[in-house]
Structures are given as C-alpha cells and as structure tokens.
Structure 1
Amino acid sequence: MRLRKLKTPASAASRVAVIGALLLGFSGAAPALAQTSDLVSKTAFRVCADPANMPMSDRSGAGFENKIAELMASKLGLPLEYTWFPMATGFIRKTLQANACDVVIGYAQGDELVLNTNHYYTSAFVLIVPSSGPLAGVTTLTDPLLKDKRIGVVAGVPPATQMARNGLMAKAKGYHLMVDRRYEDPADDMLADLESGAIDAAVLWGPIGAPIVKASHPNLKVTPLLKEATPPKLFYRITMGVRQGEKVWERKLNSLIRRNQSEINAILTEAGVPLLNDMGTGPLEAMK
C-alpha cells in the first residue's frame, strides 16, 4: 500500500461522525468545469481518508473503511494509495476536488459536493446504556424513562434536535463535533463517562459508537434509534463519493459494490456496525 500525505494545518480537526458530511458544509465551491473520468488514476486506487478516525479509518489501516478500500483495490487489481486529510472543513476541496485522490469510501448520501455512488450500507444513530441498568429497554428518545437523565450527545448532530424536542437537553452533556483527535476523542470520552456514571446514557452515530462498544465496552448495550416519529431522521445511507461529473467512475464503483456487497457486509458486521434495511426500519437481516 502506497501512502500519500498532504500538508495539513496543525489545528485541523478530525470528524467525529460520518454524518458530519451533511452538517458541516465544507468550505470551497465546486469547480466551475465538470470533472471527467479522465482524472481518475489508472495506476492506483486513490482514496481520500481521515488519518485518525477510528473505528472508520486511520493510517495503520485498521478501520473498517480501510478494509473496504483494500477490498475495492484488490477487485480492481490496483495498489491502494491514500491521501490523508482530516474529515473537516475543506476536506473535499483539498482532496477530491484537488484531484489528489479519486474516492471517499464513507460519505452520507445527498451531499452535493460529491457525486454519490449507490449506497453500500444504511445505519443510524444509537442509544448506548449499561446493559443491566434501568434504561436497557429504552428504544426511543421519547421514552419517559429518559426524563431527568444525563445523556451525552455530540453537539450539532440530528439526535440533539430530537432531545431538545423531548425536553432532554437541560441535563445533557455535550461533546465537541469538531476536534483534533490527537488530543480529544469525544466518542471514547462519552463512553468512559457512561462507564463511570458521569452520564446515564450516550447517543452516538452507530458506525462509530457500536464498534467501540464491541471492542472495549462489553457491559454496554447498543440500540439503534429507529422509532422516532418526528424529523429529523436518525438513519442515513452511506455511499462512496467521487467528483461531480465522473459518471463512468461512479458506474464502475456501483458495479463493484453490487458484485461484492456480501464481502462489504461481512467487513461491516465484523467491525460491529449496525446494518439496517434501506428504509431504516429494522436490521438488515429482517430483509433476508
């Protein structure tokens, strides 16, 4: 695997959740001229990725997005090459739009800065609580059992809106969305607070929170938030993002996703990512 590094500002922040792609509004307008598939490398599978965003991606290649990138590269018969840049303000402009790389492995469907491939999984925000505690049966943020509880939530994410509507913000503990994860890790900090009793419950993006729980918090229970009756929705379809106009490349990736979906699912399942059906109404297994 060949690694390529862009110079990044010392204060650059890593993303906390993949849904940040929908929330942050990365700086820089799309190029005035449409890109074409001629810009896609023919000699390497060039991936734009965050170097410190476990459990999704990191420089060691341990993240589940790293493993999906390895799978795609192997199916194409190309070496894997990374351009590393924090998934924060300017990420797309300084990586994909700058033609430093050709694909972002995990990108929420619907962001106009990229051309989305077909989605390769659907997941949701989750509620995490002690598995033997009084909140173990809670499945929605409207549950009366959550009243007066201390709930950890990342600032600015969709569940915070639901929590505010349900009167849960007065005692909530907020964690930063945009951080430099060399010094601060909101997801790990939130789960440590939950284990210590500093908070009673945690709300995290499932593909971040659930794998961390699987790896190092066996006494916690993860419940996808699928039953909220009012907007905003708490489930999202995750795609690969390519440059606008690169329809040939998009179709090629769509074909790879379709033909290798079972292997992609296996990688996600092994990591502990909650996989949902396309409508976000239940586990993927329910569709089989």
Structure 2
Amino acid sequence: MKGSTTIVRRVVQSLRHAGLVASVLAATAMLCVAQSAPLAAAPVLRVCADPDNLPFSNDKGEGFENKLAVLLAERLGQELEYTWSSEDSGDVSNTVGEGACDLVMGYAQGTGLIEDTNPYYYTSYVLITRADDPDLKDVETLSDPQLRGKRIGLFAQTPPASILAMHGLVSNVKPFEVNPGESSARAAEAVIGEIASGELDAALLWGPIGGYHAVQAKVPLRVVPLVKESAGPNTIYPITMGVRPNEPQWKHQINKLLADSEQEINVILREYNVPVLNQKGERIAAGAALR
C-alpha cells in the first residue's frame, strides 16, 4: 500500500490542475477498500466525494455528481451515504476506512489504479472567451492565428498548455495555481472572473469546470470544446465510475444501470452546462445517446 500511495501522489502532482485530480485521489480511496465486503451485504450505497468541489460535489448535495448518486441510489433501492475527502489532501488513506466506498462518481478512464465502469459521459477541455470579442468569435482550435498576442489564462501541466507551447503561444500566457486547501474547480472562478473583467482574452479549462462557471459570469461568455486539435495530447476524455476490483457482478450491475439511465444522466449534466460529447467529440443534446 505504501508503494501505491507513492504512485498516486506522483500522479496527483502532475495532474493537479487538470480538473481530473479528484479521480486520482478517489482511486487512492478505492485501493484502501479493495478488501471490503460486497455491496450486497450493505444497506446503503457508499460514495466517496469531495465536500467542497462544485460543480462536481459538495456536502450540501448541490453538485451534478451528488445528483447522479441520488439517481443511482434510488434505482438500486439503497440509501445514499457519503465518505467525504477533499481533493487537495493528496492522500486519503488516513481518512477513508475499510469498506467506506462503493463508487467514485467521476473517474477518468484508463489510469489503471482502480476498476472502471463503462463511460457514462465524454467531455473535453474548453476554450472560453467573451461572447462580444470580435477577434475570437470564430476560434475553435489552439492553432488559430487569431490567438497570437492574446492574453490566455490556464493551469500548468494540462494538455491545452502543451498544445499552446507547440504553437508558440506561451509568451502571453498567465498561469494560475490552486492554493492550499482549495479545489481546482474553485480556483477556476478567478480565471473566469478575469475573462469577464477583460484582464484576460481567453482561458483554457477542464470542460465541466469551465462550462459551469462560465454561465455564472457577469458577462456572456463563449465556451468551445477543444475537439478539433490535430496534434499534441488528447483533449477529450471518457469519464467512468470507479468500483472496487474483483467484483464483476457489481460492476455489471452498475454498467447496466448507467446504460438504462443514460438520458437522465445527460439531462443532469446539461443542467450544469457540462459539455457532453459522443465518442467522436461531437456535442450532443440532453437525453441523446453517447454513441
């Protein structure tokens, strides 16, 4: 377990500002509970979540992952119960006890740290600009020459940051950081605020975070999913739920439930302005199929 914790810490260090960090920390929790009893023996659906990380979750049940957890618990006929752990802790092994978690609601597929369900939505990083900016109104890729000379805000060590560097657009970049005790989602509020005020011309954020905060800005903002990049790291990701390994029946049950609830899930995501995509990177309407 000591070795697994070290690996997770290194992954968190590299992805901290990507908006996916909660998934990695949740993976640590799942590693700690791998030997717990099967769900069938429990009267509740136990979910690991961050208590202050909107739009994903909070301890008031206001996030979209909270709403998804309620939906699943109702359809399973279970009571919903949370184990809270902040994403900025870097190590939840001391706060999550054995058997504390049956599901991690948002988990980036393919890290190999815990078992994945089938993806229940696809999303991407986004480019955010002011809706009234005539220079950037048609920009859809980071290779667009209209971005040259523009002030762009982003978090370091994210895929869009690497793509900007490939196109020689780092000279006017303003990097942002997550302060101690602060979630990456909350830190994004400052980025959105500087676009609204005109201090920044554009920003690159993780889609669920950028979309959620953009609609709450003081001025209209344009949110463009980065789905047309022809070079550099991937900007589109399938999002799954994390489950304990070696429980195939539980995984199959959740996969079926996700498939049966697809329309309801998409509606919830769209309520939070999450850019929901299909596997080709095309934006889909609420209730439409991912495939």
Q: TM-score if structure 1 supplies the norm length? A: 0.85
| Residues 137-286 of structure 1 mapped to structure 2, 5 A cutoff | 137-177=138-178, 179-181=180-182, 185-280=186-281, 282-285=282-285
Corresponding residue number in structure 1 for 2:101: 101
Give the Cα–Cα distance (whole angstroms) in 1 for the partners of residues 276 and 217 of structure 2: 20
Give the Cα–Cα distance (whole angstroms) in 2 for the partners of residues 42 and 138 of structure 1: 51
Where structure 1 has 5 or more consecutive residues not aligned to the other structure, the ranges are: 1-12
The CA RMSD over aligned residues, in Å, is 2.9
| Residues 122-137 of structure 1 mapped to structure 2, 5 A cutoff | 122-133=122-133, 134-137=135-138
Change over 3 Å in CA distance of 1:46–1:30 after alignment to 2: closer
Q: TM-score if structure 2 supplies the norm length? A: 0.84
Write the deviation string for residues 224-270 of structure 1: whole angstroms up to 9, x where unpaired: 01111112010100000012222221111101101111110110111
- Cα pair 2:120 2:258 within 8 Å, conserved: yes
Question: How far has the Cα of 1:199 moved from its partner?
Answer: 1.1
SS in 2 for 1:47: strand
Question: How far has the Cα of 1:216 moved from its partner?
Answer: 3.7
- Cα pair 2:64 2:268 within 8 Å, conserved: yes
What is the identity, as a one-letter code, of the residue corresponding to 1:212? H
Where structure 2 has 5 or more consecutive residues not aligned to the other structure, the ranges are: 1-12
What is the identity, as a one-letter code, of the residue corresponding to 1:20? V
Corresponding residue number in structure 2 for 1:114: 114
What is the identity, as a one-letter code, of the residue corresponding to 2:148? K
Corresponding residue number in structure 2 for 1:82: 82
Change over 3 Å in CA distance of 1:25–1:146 after alignment to 2: farther
Change over 3 Å in CA distance of 1:160–1:176 after alignment to 2: same
Give the Cα–Cα distance (whole angstroms) in 2 for the partners of residues 29 and 266 of structure 1: 28
Corresponding residue number in structure 1 for 2:46: 46
Change over 3 Å in CA distance of 1:72–1:218 after alignment to 2: farther
Change over 3 Å in CA distance of 1:178–1:20 after alignment to 2: farther
Question: How far has the Cα of 1:42 moved from its partner?
Answer: 2.0
After TM superposition, what 4+ stretches of structure 1 lie above 6 angstroms from structure 2? 22-29
Seq. identity, %: 41
Which is worse superposed, 98-107 or 213-222? 213-222
What is the aligned length? 272
Change over 3 Å in CA distance of 1:218–1:245 after alignment to 2: farther
Change over 3 Å in CA distance of 1:34–1:221 after alignment to 2: closer
SS in 2 for 1:275: coil
Give the Cα–Cα distance (whole angstroms) in 2 for the partners of residues 224 and 182 of structure 1: 22
Change over 3 Å in CA distance of 1:248–1:121 after alignment to 2: same
Change over 3 Å in CA distance of 1:95–1:230 after alignment to 2: farther
Write the deviation string for residues 26-50 of structure 1: whole angstroms up to 9, x where unpaired: 779957x964762665211100001
